[in-house]
Amino acid sequence: QKEVEQDPGPLSVPEGAIVSLNCTYSNSAFQYFMWYRQYSRKGPELLMYTYSSGNKEDGRFTAQVDKSSKYISLFIRDSQPSDSATYLCAMRRSGGYQKVTFGIGTKLQVIP
Amino acid sequence: DTGVSQDPRHKITKRGQNVTFRCDPISEHNRLYWYRQTLGQGPEFLTYFQNEAQLEKSRLLSDRFSAERPKGSFSTLEIQRTEQGDSAMYLCASSRGYEQYFGPGTRLTVT
């Protein structure tokens, strides 16, 4: 079993839709949770960063972490064609460890 | 801030050859990371430097792989005796705090 599970999709939605992306994980030591966006043939770009449980909002993006269920989500409101990319969840332990464990990525297509 | 740069962007090599990749982090970033990403997968952590010290290494980093960051600035990743299974995108990232900034990657193809 992988430490981080993520549905690879693809996920197709119409422009303006609310997109919900999620990941589950098995390692209870994970304390920092991130979402990255990766366009084709580019490096990942950090979208959201949260520590422990709770919600964080940044513009059209909302990240949620539920540590009791080992479940994290990313919501994208008013999705745009430019949001079409692969979205990677990622997480790491506390205590000075720098290794980040990524999910497989969900490919999203927003159709105009 | 010119971003993380990697060179070359694409490398094609024959099995058994040695290859070396270079990463130039964002200036003043003391942390540097190497990841490997294969098609349809997320990046996999390989190693981490704080300044010139290599502090974490993944079990993925076999004896054929070696990474250096001699002066705490740029870093090199060398793969000796390449195998077809080494074909992947090799990503470098740097950070000063928690946010890791990724470079565009070096795509390695082993024929």
Q: Residue A2 has what pLDDT?
A: 85
DSSP secondary structure string, B50-72?
ETTEEEEE-TTS-TTEEEE-TTS
Whether A96 shows a pLDDT value over 80: the answer reads no
Express each pLDDT in A5-60 by its tens digit. Answer: 999 999 999 999 999 999 999 999 999 999 999 999 899 999 999 988 889 999 99
| Interface mutation vs chain B, best among A2, A3, A92, A100, most B CBs within 10 Å | A100
**What whole-number percentage of chain A has pLDDT above 90?**
85
Express each pLDDT in B14-45 by its tens digit. Answer: 999 999 999 999 998 999 999 999 998 999 99
Give CA–CA dist B71/B15, Å, rounded. 31
Q: In Å, what is the CA distance from A81 to each residue of A2, A104, A111, B74?
A: 31, 22, 6, 36
Q: Residue A98 has what pLDDT?
A: 81
**What whole-number percentage of chain A has pLDDT above 70?**
100
Q: Count of H helices and E strands in chain A? A: 0, 11
A46 CA: distance to closest CA in chain B (Å): 7
**Average pLDDT of chain B, as a whole number:** 94
Give CA–CA dist B18/B16, Å, rounded. 7
**Average pLDDT of chain A, as a whole number:** 94
- Continuous segment of H or E residues that includes residue A10: none
SS3 A21: strand
> What is the mean pLDDT of the segment spanning B3-10?
96
Nearest residue to A104 (alpha-carbon basis) of B42, B89, B37 = B42
B38 CA: distance to closest CA in chain A (Å): 10
DSSP secondary structure string, A52-104?
SSEEEEETTEEEEEETTTTEEEEEESS--GGG-EEEEEEEEESTT----EE--
| Interface mutation vs chain A, best among B26, B29, B36, B41, most A CBs within 10 Å | B41
What is the band of B1 on the pLDDT scale with cuts at 50, 70, 90? low
Q: Which residue has the higher pLDDT, A94 or B110?
A: B110
Give me B27's structure tokens. Answer: 């200036």
Give me B86's structure tokens. Answer: 């080494």
Residues in chain B whose Cβ is within 8 Å of chain A: 4, 31, 33, 40-45, 48, 50, 55-56, 58, 91, 93, 98-105
> What is the mean pLDDT of the segment spanning B56-85?
93
